[in-house]
Amino acid sequence: MASMHDAPPFTAITEATIVSLVDAFYARVRHDPVLRPLFERAIAEDAWPMHLRKMYAFWSSVMLTSGRYKGDPVAVHQRVDGIEPDLFANWLDLFEATAAQLFVPSLAQEFATKARRIAESLRLALFFRPNEPWPTDLRHRPPLAALDRADVPRPSARSVRSRRPATRA
């Protein structure tokens, strides 16, 4: 079990390490030339703290089965202006690279597997048409080589210590 004071690579999935992942990932999204415009249109600057809290709850529910997330991701994404099927691969590239930089490989892979299922499910719900060909299934894409660890924004030690972890190793 990872201590809350541990630095990456994290060896456990906890509430605190989920916060680190979500914060680092969305810091990248907000600087990504492809995804940034979509997120700027969808999330007002002053709404980011609320969005991040929802994402902490979402990933806690997914990875720790905490049941904290209460929402409808399909309905939310249906309202996003400019969302396109190909953008899910961009999202996965950043998410998987961030998970790989913050977690030991086996845990990064757990995040990647769940993220691929979620992305493919959302993509199907938003864009599937029975009479049109479907592109490659995101669940079966090749592994992404992690980017340099220096690219991942680090949470402050204070922000990681201030959260009590629920743990799953």
Tens digit of each residue's pLDDT (9 = 90 or more) over 67-79: 999 999 999 999 9
- Which residues does 161 contact at the CB level (< 8 Å), separation at least 6? 4, 5
Domain assignment present for 4: no
- Would you state the structure tokens that stand for residue 48, as one six-digit string? 């980011």
Domain assignment present for 86: yes
In the chain, the number of structural domains is: 1
**Range of 129-138, 147-156, 157-166 with top mean pLDDT:** 129-138
Containing domain of residue 55, as a range? 13-168
Q: What is the three-state SS of 51-96?
A: HHHHHHHHHHHHHHCCCCCCCCHHHHHHCCCCCCCCHHHHHHHHHH
Give the domain CATH number at 111.
Answer: 1.10.490.10
